[in-house]
Amino acid sequence: MMKHIGLFVAVVVGFSLVAAAPSWAQAGAQQKTPPAQDKDKAAAADQISGEWEGVVDLPDGATAFGMTLKLDKDKVTGDVAGPQGSTPITQGSWADGKLTIAFTYVDGAGIVMTGSLAEGQFTGSLDYGGGQMVVNWTAKKKPAK
């Protein structure tokens, strides 16, 4: 009788292990994400890298400008271009859904732009010369080539 009970326990344990194996394998597969998928997720999360076309609402009328932005974690680099030429971004960040970039205008004045991204468009304010002039700006991302 003890032999039969031992065999019965062995069979039940064996079936339990076989039945549980797919769930263990599935749990392990869910925990390991292939590196290619990690890169795809990071690229999808990066909504700001690329070329942007925008307009600054200056007192004498709207002026077009462009930005090339590159996001690396929370740091933003790139350049800003307008009718007077192009200048590199000297400081840039992306945190809590807010873009902040700083650069020096061609006349030597400092410019700080801040903006929020909603529905594929940045909307924000531009501070020229430490408060000498504060105006609004908007920008939309150029379609990928």
Q: What pLDDT is stored for residue 61 in this prediction?
A: 96
d(CA 63, CA 145): 25
| 8 pLDDT above the threshold of 70 | no
Integer CA distances (angstroms), 2 to 6, 8, 11, 16, in order: 6, 10, 14, 21
d(CA 131, CA 21): 65
Tokens of 29: 């597969």
Across the chain, which distance is largest between two alpha carbons, in Å? 100
| CB-count exposure of residue 135 (10 Å: 0-12, 13-18, 19+) | middle
pLDDT (tens digit, 9 = 90+) per residue, 16-69?
A: 333 444 443 455 555 555 555 555 455 557 999 999 999 999 999 999 999 999
pLDDT (tens digit, 9 = 90+) per residue, 97-134?
A: 999 999 999 889 999 999 999 999 999 999 999 999 99
Q: What pLDDT is stored for residue 68 in this prediction?
A: 98
